[in-house]
A and B are shown apart, each in its own frame.
Chain A
Amino acid sequence: MLNRLTISELSARLIKREVSSREVTQACLDQIARVDGQIHAFISHDAADALAQADVADKAIAAGASSSQQPLLGIPVAVKDVLAVKNQPLNCGSKILGDFVSPYDATVIEKLKIAGAIVFGRLNMDEFAMGSSTENSAFGVTRNPWDTTRIPGGSSGGSAAAVAADEAIATLGTDTGGSIRQPAALCGCVGLKPTYGRVSRYGLVAFASSLDQIGPFTKDVRDCATMLNVIGGHDRRDSTSVAHAVPDYTKALDGNIKGLRLGLPKEYMIGGLDPEVKAAVDAAVKQLQSLGASVEEISLPHTEYAAATYYIIAPAEASANLARFDGIRYCARVNGADPIELYSKTRGAGFGPEVKRRIILGTYVLSSGYYDAYYLRAQKVRTLIRQDFLKAFENVDAIITPTTPTAAFKIGEKSDDPLQMYLSDVFTISCNLAGICGVSIPCGFTKSPKLPIGLQLLGKPFGEETMLKIAHAYEQSTVWHREKPAL
């Protein structure tokens, strides 16, 4: 069962040549063949190409390549269908892109390949990353490995489910308002949204450019740090990536959190928070205190406005970004008598309901006469939300919250009520608006049915080292991350 192991466990065995990358990759492919009919984490995958990459990694290992230079050497890593991988399909969970094939690699994909990873598969997602359940994919629903009648979260539902179901050793997703942390919480894995600018967005199909970040899903915090070591850093092809040095994040994982200060925002303990989720988070807070951290109540006074701010800013940016899908240079074109009719028909036929909803909303809040009342005002409230966090971080090293108000909900439960769906992101949205980093780690299970619960840690801008140190210390003192779904 090599597919059940972590990056660090596998790396040690690969380098000693106790196992081969081909065996590890085949174990993942076998698991996909066995369980993905139920889970549907993958839209597609090219088994022959994955095995060919594994053979290259095995040759490199035989020739003396080391994991200190190539930290992902021989490790199968699967990718959300919103990142460009050269010569592979790219659909963003939508039918509008037709048979699009990427002509180049995203920067994160280049970095994974240089690090020796076996980059394979197209992971399912809400169309254009718009959603919280992976029900908005044109390629069908992904199911939660813990209970296949439930959603895996979203928009990176395929990325979370693939790690939880041991179909890949690690995966990449993207997070615009919680799309990594929320599915990680609901599927019981580790999911990191890096600080805005930590990871290059080049080759990521943009949803909301000022909010989007790429990040990893892994089975433990150490693997998360290893993945961030690989994908982080400045990129001249993304002017919003920041030239901030990339430390070795695994070095911070020493288990010593004595004296670190954690903030518990009083605004997050709201009505609608499930009692079992609250109990798990309360227990995690006690656990962190017993490890030597101090915990104090803090206030983020503009929290209640985060969802409304997000649902103006994100659709506004999306309406501009998605203008490029017009049927001229790519897309499944629907012809019209003139270019405007061609655009309208192509977009009307190609986009699904949630994407249409957000394009209309975004176009509206940017339109003449409404810009100041909605978009500009939301940008100002965004400033207040960001200031709340920067002020809180003057007194605490990290902030601790539930990742989601409830465990995974049933497929179809919220799909007819977009506003209720939007409110399932209430704890994760502020992090993107403020541009800080956040991670979700497993912190328990509901009783019946048994569903994972996520603990969210929020860190200072470029404060991933401290945040991951705390996450790691907690994880290593608990057993939650070792639990596996029965598949």
Chain B
Amino acid sequence: MAAGDFNVKYVAHLARLALTPEEEIKLGAQLGNIIGFVEQLKSVDVSNVEPTAHAVPTVNVTRADEIRPSLPHDEAMRNAPAKSGGLFVVPKIVE
């Protein structure tokens, strides 16, 4: 893949990541190289191979549905950048 084919602006939007024009250019070139490197996986025969999401085969892990203590409200909110009345403050979403 050529570096120019990598649409950094579009992917950055998907990732909700603001980039400067300089970062877009630099990342585009670097990621073009990295994508070129990982292209080598296309030469591996993976027909009839199941994907591994997780190396230890654990299936449907559940635990008893019991009420247990949780963080006090104030503690859970303590790192909020903006809060009011025990709620997180965010920009207006709906007019």
What is A's interface to B at a CB cutoff of 8 Å? 98, 100-101, 103-104, 195-197, 210, 236, 239-240, 242, 302, 304-305, 307-309, 311-312, 319, 323, 326-333, 335-345, 347-349, 351, 353, 356-357, 359-361, 363-364, 367, 373-374, 376-384, 386, 418-419, 422, 433-436, 461
Taken together as a complex, chains A and B put the C-alpha atoms of A319 and B11 apart, in Å, by 11
B58 touches A364 (CB 8 A): no
Chain B contacts for A242, CB-based, 8 A: 56, 58
Chain B contacts for A348, CB-based, 8 A: 17-20
B41 touches A363 (CB 8 A): no
Chain A contacts for B41, CB-based, 8 A: 305, 308-309, 312, 374, 377-378, 381
Q: How many chain B residues have a CB neighbour from A under 8 Å? A: 50
Taken together as a complex, chains A and B put the C-alpha atoms of A91 and B46 apart, in Å, by 40
Answer yes or no: B34 CB below 8 A from chain A CBs.
yes
* With A103-B76, A339-B93: A359-B17 Cβ-Cβ less than 8 Å: yes
Taken together as a complex, chains A and B put the C-alpha atoms of A331 and B90 apart, in Å, by 13
* With A236-B63, A330-B79: A364-B11 Cβ-Cβ less than 8 Å: yes
Residue of A339, A360, A380, A434 near B11 (CB, 8 A) is A360
A367 touches B17 (CB 8 A): no
What is B's interface to A at a CB cutoff of 8 Å? 6, 8, 11-20, 23, 27, 30-31, 33-35, 37-38, 40-42, 44, 46, 49-56, 58, 61, 63, 71, 75-76, 78-82, 88, 90-93
A357 touches B19 (CB 8 A): no
Chain B contacts for A239, CB-based, 8 A: 58, 61, 63
Chain B contacts for A361, CB-based, 8 A: 31, 34-35
Residue of A312, A329, A335 near B79 (CB, 8 A) is A329
Taken together as a complex, chains A and B put the C-alpha atoms of A99 and B21 apart, in Å, by 29
B16 touches A103 (CB 8 A): no
Taken together as a complex, chains A and B put the C-alpha atoms of A326 and B17 apart, in Å, by 10
CB of B58 to closest CB in A, whole Å: 7
CB of A103 to closest CB in B, whole Å: 4
A329 touches B17 (CB 8 A): no
B56 touches A381 (CB 8 A): no
Chain B contacts for A340, CB-based, 8 A: 16
Taken together as a complex, chains A and B put the C-alpha atoms of A361 and B42 apart, in Å, by 17
A311 touches B52 (CB 8 A): no
When C-beta atoms are compared, the residue in chain B nearest to A363 turns out to be B15
B88 touches A329 (CB 8 A): yes
* With A302-B44, A377-B42, A379-B53: A342-B91 Cβ-Cβ less than 8 Å: yes
A347 touches B27 (CB 8 A): no
Taken together as a complex, chains A and B put the C-alpha atoms of A434 and B54 apart, in Å, by 9
Closest 10 pairs (CB-CB, A-B) = A435-B55, A348-B18, A379-B51, A333-B81, A380-B46, A330-B79, A344-B18, A239-B61, A343-B16, A363-B15
CB of B71 to closest CB in A, whole Å: 6
When C-beta atoms are compared, the residue in chain B nearest to A312 turns out to be B38
CB of A213 to closest CB in B, whole Å: 10
Besides the contacts A338-B92, A363-B15, A383-B50, what 8 more A-B pairs have beta carbons closer than 8 Å?
A104-B71, A308-B38, A332-B81, A341-B91, A356-B23, A373-B42, A382-B52, A386-B55
A344 touches B17 (CB 8 A): yes
Taken together as a complex, chains A and B put the C-alpha atoms of A210 and B58 apart, in Å, by 12
A339 touches B91 (CB 8 A): yes
CB of A422 to closest CB in B, whole Å: 8
Taken together as a complex, chains A and B put the C-alpha atoms of A206 and B41 apart, in Å, by 26
Taken together as a complex, chains A and B put the C-alpha atoms of A290 and B46 apart, in Å, by 41
Residue of A326, A357, A379 near B52 (CB, 8 A) is A379
CB of B13 to closest CB in A, whole Å: 8
* With A342-B90, A364-B31: A103-B75 Cβ-Cβ less than 8 Å: yes
Chain B contacts for A347, CB-based, 8 A: 15-18
CB of B38 to closest CB in A, whole Å: 4
Taken together as a complex, chains A and B put the C-alpha atoms of A364 and B76 apart, in Å, by 33
Chain B contacts for A304, CB-based, 8 A: 40
Chain A contacts for B91, CB-based, 8 A: 335-339, 341-342
Chain B contacts for A337, CB-based, 8 A: 91
When C-beta atoms are compared, the residue in chain A nearest to B72 turns out to be A103
Taken together as a complex, chains A and B put the C-alpha atoms of A266 and B54 apart, in Å, by 27
Chain A contacts for B40, CB-based, 8 A: 304-305, 308
Chain B contacts for A376, CB-based, 8 A: 51
Chain A contacts for B58, CB-based, 8 A: 197, 239-240, 242
Taken together as a complex, chains A and B put the C-alpha atoms of A305 and B52 apart, in Å, by 15
CB of B42 to closest CB in A, whole Å: 7
Which of B71, B81, B91 has most chain A Cβ within 10 Å? Answer: B81
Q: What are 22 contact pairs spanning A and B, CB under 8 A?
A: A103-B75, A210-B54, A236-B63, A240-B56, A305-B40, A305-B44, A308-B40, A308-B41, A309-B41, A319-B15, A328-B90, A329-B80, A330-B80, A339-B91, A343-B16, A348-B17, A349-B18, A364-B11, A380-B44, A380-B49, A434-B55, A435-B55
